[in-house]
Amino acid sequence: MNDSIVLDADTPFDLDATLGCGQAFRWEKDADGTWSGTARGRAVRIRQDEETLSFSGADKAFVTDYFALDLDLNEILASIDTDPAIHRAVTSCTGLRLLRQEPFETLISYICATNTNIPTVKKRVRLLSERYGTPLPGGAHAFPDAVTLAPCSEDALRACVLGYRAPYICTTARMCADDPDWAAQVADLPYPEAKTELLRFPGVGPKAADCILLFAFQQYEAFPVDVWIRRIMRRAYLPHLNESGGMSPREYEEIASFARRHFGRYAGWAQEYLYCVREDDR
DNA sequence: GTCCAGGACGTGG
DNA sequence: CCACGTCATGGA
């Protein structure tokens, strides 16, 4: 560790909650509590001891931006903390922050994340990086960029345990390589139009699009609804929804629009806090 | 072995 | 528009 940041009293931050909540797939925690991972083409190590963040492989500006330490989290939490259910999540995960992740990596990662579980997603992203990403000091690999991934054959991608998602990722990488400006264009659009743009990529549906907008584009009104969030929202807020069966586009929109009404413009933060405290009791 | 997971897509009604 | 089957993979 060759650099550090001391957080002041009104900058709550919880590194474990932030990296462990499932928004990013390329971080691992050592036995001694140090996290190792890659982000935006760097191999980074970082640990938190109380109010002190110690890190290497990145400078203060990078850490501040990637972990969104510049945002007033107290203000965000105060704005979403409107009922007992979200209050429990907010109090038990205070310090969880939404990262600012790289758009192409997030796009591909959340195509990898459909209808599966987090350990499997991490394996897919790790294999893609090891096989096609630039080697970094320390043995890690950056996530490959679109131009590198675009020429890969469908079978080669399938070998990264992508299953039926291989052709989606193949086509999506080529679309991005052919339009290097895609992310800048999405970044300039308001939420509904940005979502429509992301839905053009094969393998990206409403849920993946909302994750990408939330984690890579800081569209904080995005409210991704997966099976966990659906269960939580049904139990805490929308008991008339039936639990069984797949989720229709209308039900998705009903849940998400309720969340935006109920939690306000930081609904996406509420989503991540609710997801963080999900319980597998059903 | 069965069921489920940070769902999306194609088809038929 | 809606309901339904299908799509690989791995962990529990």
CATH number at residue A64: 3.30.310.40
Same domain (yes/no): A174, A247 = no
Per-chain mean pLDDT for chain A: 96
Q: From the CA atom positions of chain A, what is the Rg in Å?
A: 19
Same domain (yes/no): A195, A130 = yes
Residue A212 lies in a domain: no
Residue A80 lies in a domain: no
Which of A26, A50, A70 is at the close of a domain?
A70
Residue A140 lies in a domain: yes
Cα-based distances in Å from A226 to A40, A115, A133, A217, A264: 26, 9, 29, 19, 20
For chain A, give the number of residues. 282
CA to C1' distance (Å), from A26 to C6: 30
CA to C1' distance (Å), from A203 to C3: 20
Pair A100, A65: CB distance under 8 Å: yes
Q: Strand B within 7 Å of which CB atoms in A 37-56?
A: none
Q: How many domains does chain A have?
A: 3
Report the protein residue whose CA lies nearest the C1' of nucleotide C8. A163
Q: How far apart are CA A201 and CA A218, in angstroms?
A: 19
Same domain (yes/no): A51, A133 = no
Same domain (yes/no): A108, A198 = yes
Q: What is residue A279's predicted lDDT score, i.e. its pLDDT?
A: 79
> Percent of chain A at pLDDT above 70?
99
Quick check: A161 CB within 7 A of strand C? Answer: yes
Q: pLDDT per residue over A17-69, tens digit each? A: 999 999 999 999 999 999 999 999 999 999 999 999 999 999 999 999 999 99
Same domain (yes/no): A232, A167 = no
Same domain (yes/no): A191, A241 = no
Q: pLDDT per residue over A217-263, tens digit each? A: 999 999 999 999 999 999 999 999 987 778 999 999 999 999 999 99
Residue A273 lies in a domain: yes
Q: How many CA atoms lie within 13 A of A157 on its CB side?
A: 23
Residue A177 lies in a domain: yes
Residue A93 lies in a domain: no
The sheet carrying A42-49 orders its strands as A3-6, A52-56, A42-49, A35-39, A27-29
Range(s) of the domain holding residue A8:
3-70
Q: pLDDT per residue over A169-197, tens digit each? A: 999 999 999 999 999 999 999 999 999 99
Residue A82 lies in a domain: no
| C-alpha dihedral sign at A156, A158, A161, A165 | positive
Q: How far apart are CA A134 and CA A113, in angstroms?
A: 23
> A77: exposed, middle or buried (C-beta count within 10 Å: 0-12, 13-18, 19+)?
buried
Same domain (yes/no): A140, A188 = yes
Residue A76 lies in a domain: no
